[in-house]
Structure 1
């Protein structure tokens, strides 16, 4: 396996393994020309960065939707599964929009990014007729205030 050095705004030059590079043949909405991305895990978090291999200024924060919404589920349409050649292995990530106030940050469950780690291909798939939308709160669980003063 060959490693690749890519340029990022956040981390400067970064070495990524071949297995981290995914080809999204249709790009992402609004970024149709960018088709090759590195999937970079953020250690010990449910977050990844999807970094364009060509454009260091283009990256997306991704989250594991199941870490935030354990009941999240959808059926991958047959034609999409076929296009991505998905047999068994599949990785699902969703784009996260971070806000200055963390409680306003959102995750897009309506259009997950579906990745096939075997072929290293992927696609953002819009779930038609789904209960999900583009701005689910990342912090759905609000802390319970029990009224005790702690002392």
Structure 2
């Protein structure tokens, strides 16, 4: 990985991701030309990164309901300004997405948080198939 990520806009976590309390700032590094895959990379330690993707190309009906407390934590009132990213686990036989706990980013404030969608019935490991 080059140091180009150092010039990217920083995303501040409104609350740290589970298991990573010291990592509060990240950048989104595009991994392919189509904008389907990104590395959500810690600015404190670039070896801490999560493979993420927008859900639409893989799960077109995925529309998580974002609670008001999440909007407040992200300092936004406009859900249309939110970017939803799902965390990907790439395996040898299949690639899955965590639909239960997406990362929600406010495009204006550049604040983010990983949200657990309570009582949604969403899977932690949904098999990915590109639909478009």
Please give the TM-score of this superposition, normalised by the length of structure 1. Answer: 0.78
- Tell me by how many angstroms 1:75 deviates: 1.2
Please give the TM-score of this superposition, normalised by the length of structure 2. Answer: 0.89
1:99 to 86, 91, 95: 91
Aligned residues: 128
Residue matched to 1:130:
120
2:99 to 103, 106, 109: 109
Residue pair 2:5, 2:27 contacting (<8 A) in 1 also: no
Q: Which has the higher contact order (CA 8 A, sep 6+)?
A: 2
**Structure 1: 4+ residue segments shifted above 3 A:** 15-18
Q: Distance in 1 between matches of 2:62 and 2:121?
A: 10
Instruction: Specify every segment of 5 or more residues in structure 1 that has no aligned partner in the other structure, as ranges.
Output: 1-10, 142-151
- Tell me by how many angstroms 1:13 deviates: 2.1
* SS in structure 2 of the partner of residue 32 of structure 1: coil
Alignment of 1:1-151 (within 5 A): 11-18=1-8, 20-42=9-31, 43-88=33-78, 89-101=81-93, 104-139=94-129
Note the aligned Cα RMSD (angstroms): 1.6
* Higher-Rg member (1/2): 1
